Structure 1
Amino acid sequence: MLGSVLALAVAGTAGAVFLWPVGVAPEPIELSGDAGRGAYLARASGCIACHTNFERGGAPLAGGVELATPFGTFYSPNLTTDPENGIGRWSIEDFAMAVRQGVSPEGEPYYPSFTYPFYGDFSDQDIADLWAAFQTVPPVAEVPPDHEVGFPFNMRWGLKLWRAAFLRDPETESVEGRDDVWNRGRELARGAAHCGACHTGRNIAGARLETAFYAGNDDLPGGDHAPSIQIEHLVEQGWTVDSIVYALETGITPSGDVFGGGMGEVVQYGTSFLTPEDRLAIATYIMDPGDDLPDPE
C-alpha cells in the first residue's frame, strides 16, 4: 500500500513538473532595430562562433557546431532566416523569449549549453537590434544534427528543475560609485561576452559555482581548459589592463604565446571586432571586479 502511495506521489510530482510552464511571454516589442548595432552585439555575444561550423565550411549562423559535455553532445541550431530549419517563422517576441529566457517558441526550455543565462538583462532595444541583424542573414536549409543526450538528460522537462535551482540574473547593472568604463566592462563581461561561462567551474549539475567566480575551469567541452582570471592569478602571469586589451584584439598573451582552442575563437570571431573602448572596459573590469569577486575562503 505504501509503495503504491509513493509511486502515485512520484508520478504526480513528475506530472506537475512536466506541465509547469516556463518563461514569461514578453510585451510586444515595436521598436525599430539597428542592424549594425545588432551585428556588433551578436559578435560580442559569441553568436557567430557558436552557430557557424567553420571547420566544415558551414554558412554563417547555419548551426551544427558540436559541443561535447559530460551530459552529452549538443549541436548549435540554425539561426538563419530559413523558415523550415532556422528562425524564419519566429516573431521578435519569440526571439526575445529565446535569447533572454532560454525558452523556445513552443514553450520548451533550452539546454544551458546555450548561454542564455548571461543575456537576461538585454533591453528591448538590444533585442530589436539583434533581430534586425538576424533578418539580414540569408536563409540556409541546413539541418543540424540532433543532440546526443542520454537518459535522464534527454528529458527536457527536467530542465525546469535545473532552472529553478540554478538560473540567476546575470547582474550586469551599473554599480554606484564606479565610473562608466568599469560599468561598461561589467555589463559586457557578466552579460554579452559571458566570460564566466568558461572561466568559472561547474557543479555536478553543470551550473556555475558561485564560490568559484572566474577561478578557471579544467573541464570545458571537448577537453578544453580555461585558466583562472582572478586578479591574483592574472598578476602572477604578468597580465595588466593593457595586455588584456591587446590580447582581446590579437590573441597574443604577455608571454608572446597565442590563445588556442575556445579562447582563440572568442578573439577571432568576437572580441577582435569590438571597439577599443569596449576592450578597455572589459579589461578594466576583469582586473578590478571589486565586490563581484567572492572573498577567498
Structure 2
Amino acid sequence: MNRATRFSLALLALAGAAGVAAWVMTAPATLDAAELATLPQGDAERGERVFWASGCASCHAREGATGDDMLELAGGLELETDFGTFVAPNISMHPTDGIGDWSAADLANAMLRGVSPDGRHYYPAFPYASYARMEMGDVADLYAFMRTLPEVEGRASGNALAFPYTIRRGVGLWKAMHLDEGPVLALPDEDDTVARGQYLVEGPGHCGECHTPRDFTGGLDTSRWLAGGPSMEGPGRIPNITPSADGIGSWSEFEIAAYLESGFTPDFDSAGGRMAAVIRNLARLPEEDRQAIAAYLKAIPAQP
C-alpha cells in the first residue's frame, strides 16, 4: 500500500470517527430516571396558573381567540422566520390529533429537553430553551390542568423549512450551544418578589424569546438580555424592556404591573400584535405575579 492510499484511508477513518462523534453529540437527550422520579402528582388548580404564565394559548389557541375559546388548543399559528415557517401544532387533549395520549413524563421531556415522545428534537420555535428553567412541580401541575381541557379535532399543517433546517438532528448542536437550565442573570440580594419575577420571566413566561436579540444561529444573545431587537417575523422591532432610557426606565413598578393586566401603557398607548395575546394571558394571573414580573424588570441591568 503506497503512501497516498494510506493517507486517503486515514482521512476516511477520521471523517468516519467525526461523523460518529457528531451523531452521538446531536442525539436527543431526555430526562433520566432520577429526574423523572421527582415528577410529583400534579394539581390542576395550580396548573391553570402555570398555563397562563407559560403563554400556551398565545401560540396554540386559534388566532384571535378570547375567553374560554383560548382553552381550545387547536394550533395552526404560523411563525414566519428567516429559517422558514413554523406552525404551532394541536396540543389539545385529542388522542390522535393532539397530545391526549401523552404522559406527564412526555410533557416534561418536551418542555424541559425539547424532545418528542417518539425521540425527535423539537425546533426551538417551541420555547423550551426558556421552559428548561421550570420547576418539575410546575410541569406536573400544568399537565394536570391540560388534562381537563377539551379535545379539538384536526391536525395543524406541518412546518415549511428549507434545507438544511429540515435536518432535525442538527438541532442537537443548537441545544449544545443554547440549552441551559441555569438563570440568565445573577441578581445580588434578590428578595422573594424579585426571585418570583425572575422565575416567571426567564422560565415559563419566556419573555426573552421575543425581547432579546439573537445571534446568527437564532439563539438568544443573553449579554443583551431583554434589550429588544429586530422582529423574527419580518419588519418591525421588539421593544427594549430593561430599565433604561431606551426601554421602560421611566415606568414605575405599578405602571408595569398595570400594563401587564390592561395592555395600556403609562402614555395611554395600547399593546398590539403578539403582545396583545400575551396580555390576555398575563391578565389571568394573580396580581402578585404581575407585581413580581415588574419588580424583576426594574431590578435587571439597563441595556441601551
What letter corresponds to residue 28 of structure 2 in structure 1? V
**Maintained 8 Å contact 1:17/1:160:** no
1:220 Cα offset (Å): 2.5
2:294 maps to what in 1?
283
Alpha-carbon distance between aligned partners in 2 of 1:135 and 1:62, rounded to the nearest angstrom? 15
Alpha-carbon distance between aligned partners in 1 of 2:154 and 2:59, rounded to the nearest angstrom? 15
Determine helix, strand or coil for the equivalent of 2:238: coil
- Which one of the candidate residues 56, 70, 95 is aligned to 1:47? 56
> Could you report, residue by residue, the CA deviation over 1:20-60 in whole angstroms, capped at 9, with x for unpaired residues?
53223342466332112111111111101111122488971
- Which one of the candidate residues 245, 248, 251 is aligned to 1:233? 245
What letter corresponds to residue 206 of structure 2 in structure 1? H
Between stretches 7-16 and 220-229, larger displacement belongs to 7-16
Taking structure 1 as reference, are residues 72 and 106 closer, same or farther at Cα in structure 2, changes over 3 Å only? same
Taking structure 1 as reference, are residues 174 and 16 closer, same or farther at Cα in structure 2, changes over 3 Å only? closer
**Maintained 8 Å contact 2:184/2:222:** no
Determine helix, strand or coil for the equivalent of 1:207: coil
What letter corresponds to residue 279 of structure 1 in structure 2? R
Determine helix, strand or coil for the equivalent of 1:232: coil
Does residue 216 (structure 1) correspond to residue 216 (structure 2)? The answer is no
- TM-score, normalized by length of structure 1? 0.89
**What 5-or-longer segments of structure 1 have no aligned partner?**
none
> Could you report, residue by residue, the CA deviation over 1:222-246 in whole angstroms, capped at 9, with x for unpaired residues?
4352111121136776312111111
Alpha-carbon distance between aligned partners in 1 of 2:185 and 2:243, rounded to the nearest angstrom? 21
Runs (4+) of structure 1 exceeding 4 A deviation are 1-12, 55-59, 172-176, 234-237
> Could you report, residue by residue, the CA deviation over 1:47-76 in whole angstroms, capped at 9, with x for unpaired residues?
011111224889711111111110010011
**Maintained 8 Å contact 2:72/2:151:** no
- Structure whose CA Rg is larger: 2
Alpha-carbon distance between aligned partners in 2 of 1:276 and 1:34, rounded to the nearest angstrom? 21
Does residue 104 (structure 1) correspond to residue 116 (structure 2)? The answer is yes
What letter corresponds to residue 32 of structure 1 in structure 2? Q
Taking structure 1 as reference, are residues 163 and 235 closer, same or farther at Cα in structure 2, changes over 3 Å only? closer
Taking structure 1 as reference, are residues 47 and 271 closer, same or farther at Cα in structure 2, changes over 3 Å only? same
- Which one of the candidate residues 16, 36, 56 is aligned to 1:27? 36
**Maintained 8 Å contact 1:34/1:129:** yes
Taking structure 1 as reference, are residues 7 and 42 closer, same or farther at Cα in structure 2, changes over 3 Å only? farther
Alpha-carbon distance between aligned partners in 2 of 1:30 and 1:211, rounded to the nearest angstrom? 32
1:151 maps to what in 2?
163
The total of aligned residue pairs comes to: 292
Between stretches 216-225 and 177-186, larger displacement belongs to 216-225
**Maintained 8 Å contact 1:201/1:209:** yes
Identity score, percent: 35
Does residue 250 (structure 1) correspond to residue 262 (structure 2)? The answer is yes
Determine helix, strand or coil for the equivalent of 2:299: coil
Taking structure 1 as reference, are residues 222 and 133 closer, same or farther at Cα in structure 2, changes over 3 Å only? farther
Determine helix, strand or coil for the equivalent of 2:80: strand
Does residue 271 (structure 1) correspond to residue 282 (structure 2)? The answer is yes
- Which one of the candidate residues 157, 176, 194 is aligned to 1:164? 176
> Could you report, residue by residue, the CA deviation over 1:236-288 in whole angstroms, capped at 9, with x for unpaired residues?
763121111111001101111101111111102x1111111111110011011
1:171 Cα offset (Å): 1.1
Alpha-carbon distance between aligned partners in 1 of 2:134 and 2:292, rounded to the nearest angstrom? 18
1:169 Cα offset (Å): 2.0
**Maintained 8 Å contact 1:185/1:281:** yes
> Could you report, residue by residue, the CA deviation over 1:165-213 in whole angstroms, capped at 9, with x for unpaired residues?
2222241799673221111111111111111111100001000012211
**Maintained 8 Å contact 1:238/1:254:** no
- TM-score, normalized by length of structure 2? 0.87
Alpha-carbon distance between aligned partners in 1 of 2:64 and 2:194, rounded to the nearest angstrom? 36
Determine helix, strand or coil for the equivalent of 1:192: coil
Taking structure 1 as reference, are residues 235 and 138 closer, same or farther at Cα in structure 2, changes over 3 Å only? closer
Alignment of 1:57-136 (within 5 A): 60-136=72-148
Alpha-carbon distance between aligned partners in 2 of 1:68 and 1:108, rounded to the nearest angstrom? 22
Alpha-carbon distance between aligned partners in 1 of 2:173 and 2:209, rounded to the nearest angstrom? 20
